[in-house]
């Protein structure tokens, strides 16, 4: 069971680590996990091991910076100007640059990052201002911005930053040089504009005159062509009218002739159609009569045949139904007979099985009772033989085996006494009285056993032991009080136990 328990604990720990340490980074933030391992996740998910790893966040969002020169900076033509630019930077998502950014800006706010980048950009912007002329910078701001960006990118890359955009907002100087450049440009522009305007007006006048001439010529030519076309049109109209009149007269005559022919043809066709119609009506009536006659014959025959077929089908159906009912009744009677037979056989088999089971149970119970009686009789017989073999010595040995325990129980109250104060009386020894307590109780116990079971332990100890038979009995009478006290103490302790174990008598 230890293996599955350990596996379950490991699985639970893994699940707890996954649930508590699961981290999902958004696309605009880098999660940096450090500790047992170093890992950077952007727009992905990972697991942080609790207590063994930590996680820090580094924003990848744009940081807008307003970069201005704190004081005037001289250009390449020694004109002091101030520059204002709007810059957007961000922490690079490239692996190497992101590692540098983590070392420099981890757990720092955007204001701190912006202040560091602003100082770098201002220094590079001052450097580019000193390398370019004022007119060049003012006329081509994109070039100035690209130079500053190219110059600052290595410094910011060393910190883990990227320049997203660099736009120059304004150039300013305290001496009005930029304004003067603008005035000069304005004058030049106005002069060029006036010349261009005069040239344009001249070209417009020439073009207008030429256009008028061409328009007049075109108008005259157009009128001439119009007159010619009108004459041609009138001639063509007269010719077409003449041709139209001729064709109309021919058409009218042809129409009259055609109309007469059509009328004649229609009358003939009408008469012929009337005759044909009458002939068709006669033929149609004959056909109708024949059809009615055939339909009546067919209806009578079909009706008779249908009634005959219906009676035949009904008779066959009734006969089939009676046959099937008879077969079904016969089949049911056969099945009922078979079922009754099977039921009787099953009941007979069940009764036989029940009788056999009862007989076997009775035989098993009788055999068990007989075996139990035999075993009890044999046990009683063996127990009787064992009791017959017991003699006084065996019984005494059994009693002697428990004497040490009896003596210990008798002397046990004495062991519970913490302090004894003995006051002698009648010339007797108080200590001896206390010590005589255990032998006195033992003597009374021997007398009680002699009266109840008929066994005299004193006689057995004195006459039936090995020491008595070889005359090695120890006589304790005639001892002094101190010796008697030692002997009693020994009897109340280990001497009695040892004598019982070694079958020795004192």
Model confidence over 309-363: pLDDT tens digits? Answer: 888 888 888 888 888 888 888 888 888 878 888 887 878 887 788 878 777 877 8
Cα gap 419→49, rounded to integer Å: 71
The pLDDT assigned to 37 comes to: 76
**96-105: average pLDDT:** 87
Give domain status of residue 417, yes or no: yes
The dihedral built from the CA positions of residue 293, 299, 302 and 304, taken in this order, carries a sign that is negative
Domain boundary among the residues 127, 160, 175 is at 175
Tokens of 343: 């039921």
Name the band, by pLDDT with cuts 50, 70 and 90, for residue 475.
Answer: very low
Cα gap 202→184, rounded to integer Å: 27
Tally of domains in the chain: 2
**349-378: average pLDDT:** 78
Give domain status of residue 498, yes or no: yes
**Strand pairing report for 45-47 and 80-91:** unpaired
Tokens of 201: 């007006």
Name the band, by pLDDT with cuts 50, 70 and 90, for residue 462.
Answer: low
- Domain limits for position 496: 391-502
pLDDT beyond 90 at 273: no
Give domain status of residue 213, yes or no: no
Q: 130 near 102, Cβ under 8 Å? A: no
pLDDT tens for residues 54-64? 888 888 888 99
Domain boundary among the residues 159, 175, 191 is at 175
- Domain CATH number, residue 94: 3.30.479.30
Please report, to the nearest 10 degrees, the dihedral formed by the alpha carbons of residues 305, 311, 315, 321 taken in order.
110
Cα gap 67→151, rounded to integer Å: 15
pLDDT beyond 70 at 106: yes
Domain boundary among the residues 134, 152, 175 is at 175
- Lowest mean pLDDT: which of 66-70, 289-293, 458-462? 458-462
Give domain status of residue 92, yes or no: yes
Give domain status of residue 403, yes or no: yes
pLDDT beyond 50 at 5: yes
- Lowest mean pLDDT: which of 66-80, 367-381, 397-411, 427-441? 427-441
Give domain status of residue 116, yes or no: yes
């Amino acid at each position: 069971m230890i293996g599955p328990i350990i596996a379950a604990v490991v699985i639970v720990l893994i699940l707890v680590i996954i649930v508590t340490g699961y981290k999902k980074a958004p696309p605009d933030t880098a999660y940096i996990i450090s500790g047992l391992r170093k890992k950077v996740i952007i727009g992905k998910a990972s697991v942080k091991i609790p207590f063994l790893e930590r996680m820090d966040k580094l924003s990848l969002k744009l940081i807008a910076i307003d970069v201005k020169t704190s004081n005037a900076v001289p250009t390449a033509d020694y004109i002091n100007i101030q520059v204002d630019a709007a810059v957007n930077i961000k922490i690079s998502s490239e692996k190497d640059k992101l590692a540098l950014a983590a070392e420099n800006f981890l757990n720092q706010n955007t204001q701190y990052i912006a202040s560091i980048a602003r100082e770098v950009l201002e220094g590079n912007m001052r450097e580019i201002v000193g390398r370019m002329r004022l007119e060049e910078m003012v006329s081509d701001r994109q070039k100035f911005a690209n130079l500053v960006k190219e110059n600052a990118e290595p410094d910011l890359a060393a910190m883990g930053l990227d320049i997203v955009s660099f736009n120059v907002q304004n150039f300013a100087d305290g001496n009005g040089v930029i304004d003067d450049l603008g005035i000069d440009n304005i004058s030049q522009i106005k002069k060029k504009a006036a010349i261009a305007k005069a040239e344009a007006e001249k070209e417009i006048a020439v073009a207008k005159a030429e256009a008028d001439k061409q328009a007049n010529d075109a108008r005259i030519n157009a009128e001439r062509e119009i007159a010619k076309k009108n004459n041609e049109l009138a001639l063509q109209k007269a010719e077409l009218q003449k041709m139209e009149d001729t064709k109309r007269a021919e058409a009218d005559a042809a129409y009259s002739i055609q109309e007469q022919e059509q009328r004649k043809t229609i009358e003939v066709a009408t008469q012929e159609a009337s005759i044909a119609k009458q002939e068709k009506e006669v033929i149609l009536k004959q056909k109708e009569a024949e059809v009615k006659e055939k339909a009546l014959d067919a209806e009578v025959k079909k009706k008779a045949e249908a009634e005959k077929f219906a009676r035949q089908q009904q008779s066959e159906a009734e006969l089939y139904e009676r046959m099937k009912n008879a077969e079904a009744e016969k089949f049911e009677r056969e099945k009922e007979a078979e079922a009754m037979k099977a039921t009787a056989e099953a009941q007979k088999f069940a009764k036989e099985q029940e009788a056999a089971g009862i007989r076997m149970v009775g035989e098993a119970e009788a055999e068990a009772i007989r075996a139990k009686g035999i075993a009890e009789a044999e046990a009683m017989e063996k127990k009787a033989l064992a009791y017959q073999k017991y003699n006084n010595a065996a019984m005494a040995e059994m009693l002697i085996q428990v004497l040490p325990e009896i003596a210990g129980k008798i002397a046990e109250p004495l062991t519970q006494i913490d302090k004894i104060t003995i006051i002698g009386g009648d010339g007797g020894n108080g200590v001896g009285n206390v010590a005589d307590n255990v032998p006195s109780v033992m003597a009374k116990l021997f007398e009680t056993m002699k009266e109840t079971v008929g066994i005299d332990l004193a006689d057995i100890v004195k006459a039936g032991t090995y020491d008595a038979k070889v005359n090695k009995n120890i006589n304790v009478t005639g001892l002094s009080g101190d010796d008697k006290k030692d002997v009693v103490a020994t009897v109340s302790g280990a001497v009695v136990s040892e004598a019982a174990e070694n079958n020795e008598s004192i």
